Amino acid sequence: MPFSSDDIPNPRQSVFRERREDAINSYLQRTPTIYRGSIHIHPASDDWSRRREDAPASLFLTGAIGVGKTHTAWQASRQWLATTVDRTGNMPSIETWRSTALFDALRPDNRDYDAKALTRILQNADLLYVDDLAAARVSPTGWTQERLYEIFDERYINRRPVLITCDVFPNQISHIVGDRVASRLSEMCRDGVLLLEGDDRRVSGVAA
Ligand SMILES: Nc1ncnc2c1ncn2[C@@H]1O[C@H](COP(=O)(O)OP(=O)(O)O)[C@@H](O)[C@H]1O
Ligand SMILES: [Mg+2]
């Protein structure tokens, strides 16, 4: 079949494509190995990741242990990254944290992180992905909850998106993140709470 001019990417498209590949490759390098494979994800999370017109800005993935929340979130965040580079030509910043590591990093006595500097990074990242938000056995103390409030309030007022996985609903996390964060998260994710259903894939052997 002969080539038409539509088949030849214009220089802008080529540059964006190259940037997208670079972005995905560097994101894959900081993705834990088991989450690197490409998987099919729930259509609503696919819509979110491709930033479709009616899709919510933030996504709250919930469901029982083992239904695929974390795998879905990594796949969706990769697609979100690709979509964003395609649209803007810019490499968005994505902060990915397990809740337990995040709460620990934000503690006032943590020597590895400057909590104030980290707070600013998490306020301003283009996407903040927090995995397993309700996982912490010990809830953050007042000081750490205050940092969480600063992070989520700043994102809330600037409409910056979050991607959360959690085995309970947003209205059941106040005891972990505090009332003010829970309230903001509920609003940010109002149209973006997605319940993944099914058996524990680790136990049932329906794993990817
Ligand atoms: N879309 C999928 N297709 C096939 N297997 C999947 C999919 N999502 C997750 N899995 C498998 O299910 C298991 C649990 O996934 P995970 O994301 O860790 O669950 P959760 O975070 O809900 O506890 C893993 O073994 C994973 O390989
Ligand atoms: Mg998980």
Q: What is the pLDDT of residues 130-159, one digit of tens each?
A: 999 999 777 788 889 999 999 999 999 999
Tell which atom from ligand 1 comes closest to the C-alpha of 64. 22
Is residue 77 domain-resident? yes
Is residue 114 domain-resident? yes
- Give the confidence band of 27 by pLDDT, cuts at 50, 70, 90: very high
- Our answer on whether the CB atom of 68 is closer than 6 Å to any ligand 1 atom is yes
C-alpha angle 78/172/42, rounded to 5°? 30
CATH of the domain at 104: 3.40.50.300
Is residue 86 domain-resident? yes
Q: What value does the mean pLDDT of the chain take?
A: 92
Is residue 35 domain-resident? yes
Is residue 2 domain-resident? no
Tell me, in angstroms, the distance from the centre of ligand 1 to residue 115's CA. Answer: 32
Tell me, in angstroms, the distance from the centre of ligand 2 to residue 165's CA. Answer: 7
Residue 208 has pLDDT above 90, yes or no: no
Ligand closest to CA 201: 1
Tell which atom from ligand 1 comes closest to the C-alpha of 206. 5
Is residue 119 domain-resident? yes
Predicted confidence (pLDDT) per residue in 53-91, tens digit: 999 999 999 999 999 999 999 999 999 999 999 999 999
101-126 as b/e: b if 16+ CB within 10 A = ebbbbbeeeeeebebeebbeebbebb
131 C-beta neighbours (distance < 10 Å), count: 23
Residue with CA closest to ligand 1 atom 9: 68
Cα dihedral sign for 202, 132, 160, 28?
negative
Tell me, in angstroms, the distance from the centre of ligand 2 to residue 132's CA. Answer: 6
Is residue 126 domain-resident? yes
Q: Where are the beta strands (DSSP E) in the chain?
A: 59-62, 94-98, 127-131, 162-166, 193-195
The total number of structural domains in the chain stands at 1
Tell me, in angstroms, the distance from the centre of ligand 2 to residue 175's CA. Answer: 20
Q: Average the pLDDT over 156-173 and give the result.
A: 96
Is residue 202 domain-resident? no
- Do residues 172 and 37 make contact, with C-beta atoms less than 8 angstroms apart? no
Predicted confidence (pLDDT) per residue in 88-124, tens digit: 999 999 999 999 999 999 998 899 999 899 999 999 9
pTM of the predicted protein model: 0.92
* Host domain of residue 51: 11-197
- Our answer on whether the CB atom of 71 is closer than 6 Å to any ligand 1 atom is yes
Q: Which residues contact 135 (CB under 8 A, 6 or more apart)?
A: 98, 99, 100, 167
Ligand closest to CA 71: 1
3-state DSSP call for residue 57? Answer: coil
